[in-house]
Amino acid sequence: MSVRVVARIRPLLDKELDKDMIVRADSIEPGKPNTMVKIPNPRNEGEEFSFTFNSVYDQSTSQETLFTSEVAPYLKSLFQGLDVTIFAYGVTGTGKTHTMRGGMKLADRGVIPRLLSGVFRRGKKIMKDTGGETTVEVALSYYEIYNDKVYDLLEPPEKRTPTGLPLRAEASGRTVVVGLSERSCADLKDFEKLYIEANTNRVTAATKLNAHSSRSHAILRVKLTQTTGDMVRESTASAIDLAGSEDNRRTDNGKERLVESAAINKSLFVLSQCIDAISRGDKRIPYRESKMTRILSLGQNNGITVMILNLAPLRSYHLDTLSSLNVSSRAKRIEVREIENEVVFKQVPKASSGTTSGGIQRQPLRPLANVHNVHNGNIAAKAADAKQATDANKPVKAFSVYTDKSKPTTTAPPTMPRPVANSSQLRRSGGAKRPSDQESIVRPSKLARPVAHTLSAPSAPSNTMTVSAAQIEALVEKKVSEILAARVAAEQSAQAPQVQVQPDISEAVQKRLDALERRIDSEEWRDDSKSSGLKILLEARQHKERGDDAAALRAYEMALPYFPGQAKLLSKIEKLRARLGGDAPSPRPHRSAKMEDKRRRVFDDNGEYHDGEADIEEMSFVEPPKPKARKTRAKATRPTSMLLEDDGPASPRAQQLLEVVNSRDIAQIKGLVGFGSKKAQDLVDYLSLLGEEEGGRISSLAQLRSVPGMGGRTVERAYEVAFWEA
């Protein structure tokens, strides 16, 4: 089924006036529930735009009505093993925190306390109805993403580290926060105490647009564990209060608020790009460009997702409101698989024939959840889907998850039969299911998880699994394609060695995954290291501009390990050292006498050293120009020239490129190599989000490269090809 998108229009606040109201809820036919938001066209007030959602709640809607209509129905699903995600989205000051958290008075309580109240009530009822045979445990984790860093809200702020908590992608496709604390919660009182205290750790501040503005995205995870005998079912409700986008022309934000605002706007911009990409059916979804989108995993996660779009009815929010209406309209197209989490078993005896040594210490890989949103799909995913469809027609197996059909296995027969899907008392009872677009599709088979990992019960001997080589391949391929996107998946599939069926299959899985993780880590490291280097270069530049040559020299030297052997960087260091009358010159890259002449000429002609151009000249001198070889040479020099543009004054070529970019003229931007309509539009949208401090402009190639969705390669191509003759 699709993401459910509902809109809520907040009432006017004390100082707001009736005459400024421009947003209203409407229904398709009189007497029917509201499903439309109407708002005038800002260019022609006589014309009205209509946006349709699953439901629209007007100013008079109480907290109780919203909860009863939009959240309470999914409590049942949560207890049936589905994950439920509810998130509030909207411009600053539109009522997201009011909707999710609410006030202290009973009637004002928002979605989160009501959800917890419902969870405890239902949990108690289940325990009572089963005579205690089923136990229900609730555990909370609560964290915020502030300036793109993750902080645990259940821990005091003093415990925060400057880098925050890291994220990790699990085999299931879910992104988890590493090192997050989890507190078990016995009842509503327990919860309130924890929640109120944790909220004091969240970063909020007064802005011109909201006296208590959230400066971070807050994510509450409620983990529900239902245990009946040795069957355990886990499901999670996530309630997310996103920070609101801000137009800094209206905020009067000071420096600190501006930094927060830039981080908030950037993550929301990435979210809107993800929504666009999913709704277009793109293969590459830019989740990884912000922590918030990685965590939210819109369209990747299974279960039920409800997006609450909060709106202010006022004219002063006109353009912002239109923008959120547009994004939310597209979010309706995102498909989310309504798949229950599987039942797992604790205390499964270890196979006596000893096919493993120790078992695996991670969740088994499961089919990726977001394949349904990747319309031009990947091969591994398709193959796995086809396999699932075939498997679904076969009789349900005993607890062994995978068997290698090609070879008789020595694994002892499992002693614990896995219940047939519909016979489990914890499974869906049929009637409660929401109509699903996927109804006719056979559900993918689910795998059991090793229990030792998921339960806090005394450690049980870990369960071992028998996995065929082909299955290992398919699963690993899918993980790769998810994390590194289709490009890397294809690479991986081409290089993947054939895993032999070995006596200890779980070890093979483990090894493969470890290698994969190392690879991903190193990919991330490369990105991080490059951006760290660029940051240091920027710092150096700032020192230089302030006339602090000694500090500039130190910073350039610090940047050197990130860009080893860069001629321009070495030359800067050398010049600064000479100016400071210090150390011996640093080693220079080998240059011919002719090259030195040319270099001097560049200095002389321009009066002053012109960084990027000088290096391009310099590099082109190494190989005298040949018409045919030009393209190859351009390619070879690209990284150097681009890097050199990151620091120092922009060359005429860079200036020309930036002028086109900052023109905000789609036609001009589309004239750049590698810029289609979409990229041009995204760039213009991004420019409109830039605060006044940045002058609403992109001022360097490094900044252009950091625009979400842009990528270094695009900028390089635009730089190299469009103005080659410049």
Binding-site residues for ATP, please? 90-97
Between residues 95 and 691, which has the closer beta carbon with respect to ligand ATP?
95
Instruction: Give the residues across from 213 on adjacent strands.
Output: 205
Q: C-beta of 53: minimal distance to ligand ATP in Å?
A: 17
Residues 298-337 that bind ligand ATP (CB under 6 A): 310
For ligand ATP, which residue of 80, 97, 267, 641 counts as binding (CB under 6 A)? 97
For ligand ATP, which residue of 92, 216, 293, 370 counts as binding (CB under 6 A)? 92
Q: C-beta of 342: minimal distance to ligand ATP in Å?
A: 36
Q: Residue 90 corresponds to which tokens in the numbers above?
A: 């909207």
For ligand ATP, which residue of 121, 212, 407, 487 counts as binding (CB under 6 A)? 212
Between residues 317 and 345, which has the closer beta carbon with respect to ligand ATP?
317
Q: C-beta of 93: minimal distance to ligand ATP in Å?
A: 5
Phi, psi of 187 (to 5 degrees): -155, 180
* Residue in the block written with tokens 């993980």: 479
- For the four alpha carbons of 72, 78, 79 and 82, in that order, the dihedral sign comes to positive
Stretch touching ligand ATP by CB under 6 A, among 86-94, 301-309, 461-469, 564-572: 86-94
CB atoms within 10 A of CB 14: 4
Residue from 141, 82, 75, 88 nearest 114 by CA: 75
Between residues 97 and 468, which has the closer beta carbon with respect to ligand ATP?
97
Q: C-beta of 390: minimal distance to ligand ATP in Å?
A: 48
Compute and round to an integer the Cα radius of gyration of the chain: 29
Is residue 95 close enough to count as binding ligand ATP by CB under 6 A?
yes
CA atoms of 225 and 457, how far apart (whole Å):
12
For ligand ATP, which residue of 34, 77, 94, 703 counts as binding (CB under 6 A)? 94
Q: C-beta of 645: minimal distance to ligand ATP in Å?
A: 37
User: What own/partner pairs with CB < 8 Å and gap ≥ 24 does 539-546 have?
Assistant: 540/572, 540/647, 541/647, 541/648
Is residue 451 within 8 Å of residue 344, measured between CB atoms? yes
Between residues 212 and 526, which has the closer beta carbon with respect to ligand ATP?
212
- For the four alpha carbons of 59, 65, 69 and 70, in that order, the dihedral sign comes to positive
Stretch touching ligand ATP by CB under 6 A, among 71-79, 206-214, 467-475, 537-545: 206-214
Q: C-beta of 243: minimal distance to ligand ATP in Å?
A: 5
Query: What SS3 string covers 359-384?
Result: CCCCCCCCCCCHHHHCCCCCHHHHHH
348 alpha-carbon distance from chain centroid: 36
For ligand ATP, which residue of 10, 346, 544, 705 counts as binding (CB under 6 A)? 10
Q: C-beta of 20: minimal distance to ligand ATP in Å?
A: 15
3-state DSSP assignment of residue 154: coil
Stretch touching ligand ATP by CB under 6 A, among 16-24, 87-95, 439-447, 674-682: 87-95
Maximum CA extent, the chain: 92
> For residue 694, what are the CA distances in angstroms to 257, 280, 404, 689, 719?
14, 31, 60, 10, 22
200 alpha-carbon distance from chain centroid: 25
Between residues 39 and 344, which has the closer beta carbon with respect to ligand ATP?
39
Between residues 68 and 361, which has the closer beta carbon with respect to ligand ATP?
68
Tell me whether strands 204-205 and 84-90 are parallel, antiparallel or unpaired.
unpaired
For ligand ATP, which residue of 85, 201, 210, 216 counts as binding (CB under 6 A)? 210
What DSSP designation does 28 have?
Answer: S
- Binding residue count for ligand ATP, defined by CB under 6 A: 18
* Residue in the block written with tokens 């302030």: 546
Between residues 312 and 570, which has the closer beta carbon with respect to ligand ATP?
312
Q: Residue 457 corresponds to which tokens in the numbers above?
A: 């019960």
Q: C-beta of 265: minimal distance to ligand ATP in Å?
A: 12
- Give helix 255-280 / helix 677-689 axis angle, nearest 10°: 160
List Cβ neighbours of 688 (8 Å cut-off, separation of 6 or more).
Answer: 664, 696
Between residues 11 and 33, which has the closer beta carbon with respect to ligand ATP?
11
Q: C-beta of 204: minimal distance to ligand ATP in Å?
A: 7
For ligand ATP, which residue of 140, 145, 243, 339 counts as binding (CB under 6 A)? 243
Is residue 478 within 8 Å of residue 367, measured between CB atoms? yes
Interaction mask 258-297, ligand ATP, x per CB under 6 A: ----------------------------------------
Residue from 432, 448, 438, 441 nearest 78 by CA: 432
> For residue 365, what are the CA distances in angstroms to 243, 362, 418, 430?
33, 9, 18, 27
Between residues 98 and 572, which has the closer beta carbon with respect to ligand ATP?
98
* Residue in the block written with tokens 């681009």: 642
Is residue 436 within 8 Å of residue 378, measured between CB atoms? no
How far apart, in Å, do the first and last CA atoms of the chain sit?
Answer: 52
Q: Residue 312 corresponds to which tokens in the numbers above?
A: 């202010």
Q: C-beta of 189: minimal distance to ligand ATP in Å?
A: 25
Between residues 260 and 647, which has the closer beta carbon with respect to ligand ATP?
260
Q: C-beta of 310: minimal distance to ligand ATP in Å?
A: 5
List Cβ neighbours of 354 (8 Å cut-off, separation of 6 or more).
Answer: none
For ligand ATP, which residue of 172, 213, 355, 445 counts as binding (CB under 6 A)? 213
538 alpha-carbon distance from chain centroid: 27
> Residues marked as binding?
90-97
Is residue 13 close enough to count as binding ligand ATP by CB under 6 A?
yes
Give, in degrees to the nearest 5, the angle at Cα 35 between 34 and 38.
90
Between residues 101 and 428, which has the closer beta carbon with respect to ligand ATP?
101
Stretch touching ligand ATP by CB under 6 A, among 21-29, 205-213, 251-259, 402-410: 205-213
For ligand ATP, which residue of 81, 118, 173, 244 counts as binding (CB under 6 A)? 244
For ligand ATP, which residue of 67, 70, 84, 90 counts as binding (CB under 6 A)? 90
Stretch touching ligand ATP by CB under 6 A, among 94-102, 296-304, 606-614, 710-718: 94-102
CA atoms of 560 and 571, how far apart (whole Å):
11
Q: C-beta of 76: minimal distance to ligand ATP in Å?
A: 26
Between residues 257 and 337, which has the closer beta carbon with respect to ligand ATP?
257
Between residues 212 and 713, which has the closer beta carbon with respect to ligand ATP?
212
Q: C-beta of 493: minimal distance to ligand ATP in Å?
A: 43
Residues found near ligand ATP in the complex (CB under 6 A): 10-11, 13, 90, 92-98, 210, 212-214, 243-244, 310
